Amino acid sequence: MKAVIYNEYGGPEVLHVAEIAKPKPSDNEVLIRISAAEVTKGDCELRSFEFPVKWFSFGLRLVFGVFRPRKKILGGYFSGTVEEIGARVNKFSPGDEVFGASSLKLGAYAQYLALPEKYTIVHKPSNLSFEQAAAAPLGGLNALHFMRLADIQPGETLLVNGAGGSIGTFAVQIAKCMGAEVTAVDAAIKERMLLDIGADHFIDYGKQDFRKSGRRYDVIFDMVASSPLDESIAVLSSAGRYVTANPTFKKMLGAKKTYKKTGKKVIFAFAAEREDELQALKAMLEEERISPAVDRIFPMEQVVEAHRCVEAEQRLGIIVLKID
Ligand SMILES: NC(=O)c1ccc[n+]([C@@H]2O[C@H](COP(=O)([O-])OP(=O)(O)OC[C@H]3O[C@@H](n4cnc5c(N)ncnc54)[C@H](OP(=O)(O)O)[C@@H]3O)[C@@H](O)[C@H]2O)c1
């Protein structure tokens, strides 16, 4: 089968298409013929081994390879069709169209992927193309998880910092479904797209620091590792929550102290990417309450350009690799 592989950490050019052995599903696995995979910021971070939060790197090096990548195929989020099932699989049948997450196993930049049936895989939303479906699990699962942790109530004000990326575009839409008034913060080129997907207000971070605008928010959902905690806490309302997908040590250590001093919560977590949350996401997609903000679709052979596009941050939403 064809797969995009990489044998060393580095720039996008370390990625190339190669012919490798097709996986065989074991008794508890499904073999999925991959149609599309999202090209995520996380894939770029694993490829270059540079992370915005430095403490991530140590543990990840042990899992992913100290000197060179042990897992040579990136792609943690996919859509495709079940081709074969192991003897003990009963959740899926050959021909089922699915979408999901391969988590730290990765491997979706390939024509086939074998995964245990208990992984976060469910039937694909019937109204989405394969490319749209592949763009949903990362952003959708993370956004849903964090928006539920924030316990957003109708009428509350939410600011999403880094709203134009994979997680942010879903967070804007899910928070709107929960009844929040949403302010999206990102680069100027993303203003139209963010207003189109439902944001009520937009702040261009290149022109204005939301922490100095004089406005207060009930919830801040922060995708930007480097943003300062104390200044963000200062613009939260009295029962406000600061939610971060990218917790630095300083923010984790400061969480308790902040709560004691101000009564405002600092919430950080790794989204577990659970099957029940993917089912909930699927329902929201099928009811057309939310939709993946796909910007561009690249063929597998243009994976280097796809990674450059994600890293250059000139994209308006999500980038997808078409495999099939
Ligand atoms: N906790 C978890 O479980 C978990 C799970 C998945 C991902 N993550 C992490 O969460 C982060 C966000 O993920 P993602 O996939 O949504 O990333 P993404 O697609 O790259 O989105 C990040 C967005 O933030 C914008 N941005 C950059 N600097 C900014 C600033 N100073 N102010 C406001 N916006 C800014 C970027 O735009 P421009 O650069 O164009 O300005 C981009 O639109 C990643 O670092 C990822 O590793 C955490």
Both tokens of residue 127?
């109204």
Return the residue matching tokens 């270059």.
48
Model pLDDT, residue 251: 87
- Radius of gyration, CA atoms only, the chain: 20
Q: State the distance from the centre of ligand 1 to the C-alpha of 223, rounded, in angstroms.
A: 5
Model pLDDT, residue 246: 84
CA atoms lying within 13 Å on the CB side of residue 148: 13
Model pLDDT, residue 221: 98
pLDDT tens figures, 227-272: 999 999 999 999 999 999 888 888 888 888 888 889 999 998 877 8
Both tokens of residue 280?
């909930």
Model pLDDT, residue 288: 98
107 to 1, 39, 113, 185, 259: CA distances (angstroms)? 12, 12, 6, 32, 40
Q: State the distance from the centre of ligand 1 to the C-alpha of 141, rounded, in angstroms.
A: 15
Protein residues with CB under 6 Å of any ligand 1 atom: 40-42, 45, 52, 142, 161-162, 164-168, 185-187, 205, 223-224, 245-246, 270-271, 313
Q: State the distance from the centre of ligand 1 to the C-alpha of 165, rounded, in angstroms.
A: 6
pLDDT tens figures, 201-228: 999 999 999 999 899 999 999 999 899 9
How far is it, in rounded angstroms, from Cα 265 to Cα 288? 32
Look at ligand 1, atom 34, and give the residue with the nearest C-alpha.
162
Ligand 1 pocket mutation pick from 149, 223, 268 by most atoms within 8 angstroms of CB: 223
Nearest 5°: the CA angle 161, 183, 224 is: 0
Q: Where are the alpha helices (DSSP H) in the chain?
A: 41-48, 55-64, 130-134, 137-149, 166-177, 191-196, 229-234, 249-262, 275-286, 303-312
Q: Where are the alpha helices (DSSP H) in 49-190?
A: 55-64, 130-134, 137-149, 166-177
Mean pLDDT computed over 47-62: 81
Mean pLDDT computed over 311-319: 90
Average pLDDT, the chain: 95
The percent of residues above 70 in pLDDT, for the chain, comes to 100
Mean pLDDT computed over 81-108: 96
58, pLDDT greater than 80: no
56 to 61, 73, 74, 104, 123: CA distances (angstroms)? 9, 20, 17, 13, 32
Of residues 54 and 89, the one with the higher pLDDT is 89
Look at ligand 1, atom 12, and give the residue with the nearest C-alpha.
223
Domains present along the chain, CATH in parentheses: 2-136+293-322 (3.90.180.10), 138-268 (3.40.50.720)
Ligand 1 pocket mutation pick from 167, 213, 248, 266 by most atoms within 8 angstroms of CB: 167
Coil, helix or strand at residue 96 = coil
Q: Which atom of ligand 1 is nearest to the CA of 313?
A: 40
pLDDT tens figures, 141-151: 999 999 999 99
Query: Could you give the maximum distance between any two Cα atoms of the chain, in Å?
Result: 61
Nearest to 102 by CA among 277, 273, 270, 246: 273
Nearest 5°: the CA angle 160, 315, 206 is: 55
pTM of the model as a whole? 0.95
Q: State the distance from the centre of ligand 1 to the C-alpha of 176, rounded, in angstroms.
A: 20
How far is it, in rounded angstroms, from Cα 241 to Cα 266? 6
How far is it, in rounded angstroms, from Cα 92 to Cα 69? 31
Burial of 217 (C-beta count, 10 Å sphere; 0-12/13-18/19+): buried
Place 114 in a pLDDT band, splitting at 50, 70 and 90: very high
Counting runs of H as helices and runs of E as strands, what totals does the chain give? 10, 15
Model pLDDT, residue 324: 76
The percent of residues above 90 in pLDDT, for the chain, comes to 84
Model pLDDT, residue 51: 85
53, pLDDT greater than 80: no
Nearest to 32 by CA among 135, 124, 132: 124
Look at ligand 1, atom 40, and give the residue with the nearest C-alpha.
313
Mean pLDDT computed over 89-99: 97
